[in-house]
Structure 1
Amino acid sequence: MSTILVGGKICTPDKVFDTGVLVINNKSIELIQNKSEFKVPKTSNVLDISGCWVLPGFIDIHIHGLLGYDCMGPNLDKVIKHLPEYGVTSFMATTMTRPKEEINSLISHMTSVLSDPPVGARCLGIHVEGPHLSPERPGMANPKWFSPLTTHEVDWLQNITNSLVRMLTFAPEEGAAMDVIPYLLDHNIVPIIGHSNASYELAKEAIALGISQATHTFNAMRPLHHRDPGVTGAVLASPSITA
């Protein structure tokens, strides 16, 4: 039996149906159109959603938790269960900077949850934010746990997560991290600049190598200055990067 939502504002990529009809059949959207153009079948399950909005589910690519539950650890299952209540249907479980032994334990818990996730939002993978950050731009993270990104670190992360790392925020100016960008791309990991004190020139070079996103632009990165555009200037001046 089809389920039909009738009367609400229904948003699609190219228009909004002010008084729309949305037909769901076999867990798939079968039809969207104006209510005035649709005759409701008598055998359908009809829900009156007048006064409501219907939108595609939100995708959150940088979230550390909600309702007191942390993505990084065994409570990831609670995050998965509760996110749809806020319109989020897919997300990247994002980590925080911790001592390496704690990272190993907490990410192992995440991997265990994701091996058999509960009903809820779909976790698209793990977004690693730290410890490969700049001591000059630590934000809330503790610099004593920082270390430059290396290919060995990438291999270690993929090993303990069963290759679930999909995004990685790091400071490309630290150590030989610039050399790791092609390696990340080869392993289907999105390289992201963040918590970085890189110069404008180095940031532009990193973007040319394949960095395509910036983590919380303006926050915890070298700021815009008229004689030193910094990371912020490089991000804003690069059409290829998502900020």
Structure 2
Amino acid sequence: MTSRGYAVARGGTALAVLGAVLGALLVTVGVVRHASGAPGDRCDRFAAEAAARAREVTGTGERVVVIGDSWSAGLGLDDPGDSWPSRLPGSVHVAGFSGSGFSALASECGAGVSFAARAGQVLRGGADLVVVEGGLNDHDRPDAEIRAGFARLMAVVEASGRPVVVVGPPAAPARAGSVPRVDALLADLAERHGAAYVSTVGWHLDYLDDGLHLTEAGHREFGDLVADQITLTRR
């Protein structure tokens, strides 16, 4: 994936947009957790970690926006800024929230942190490419919920007119049994919406002891593989 010289938001405008997005995220999580009775401390921590990761912009060139879950947020890493999106070429902006997914109820923190709910805010700063990574947190959600959440997400992304690549869930040991169903469903939905799809089911990665999150080496492996696949999809 090479830079194509697109204009990107810079300086005061970009910082203002980022500040508004992060502030809205923190407020949204606070409202949702109180309304739903979700575990407040953990949701507050996830929101703070998401805001911290969003401030870590890597690379230069075309503006790439990554919407994802704990893998994008870098949960479990000493430096969350080393999470897998940092391996992508371009000026990479990450909107990762631990526990979130395509379906509205994938996260215990409520529908306000789903991919679709966050997409509008994170795309206000512009994007030349949108990468959506997830599916592991949808492992116990019905197909109908995943379809509905995917449709809401794509409505937002399609309205922005930006190309989108969907990166599906790998067979993480802790949830390997449910991954094939989610992977097949996301592949079908991506095709129906004209989005490129990257299946990661067969990738052998290095996991932490929980069998769900990646080690630092695993993030490097995953990021490099995703970067290679994105390059292929854009040829």
Q: Structure 2 length as normaliser, TM-score?
A: 0.37
Highest RCO, 1 vs 2 (Cα 8 Å, sep ≥ 6) = 2
Q: Structure 1 length as normaliser, TM-score?
A: 0.36
Structure with greater helix share of residues? 2
Which structure is larger by alpha-carbon Rg, 1 or 2?
Answer: 1
Structure with greater strand share of residues? 1
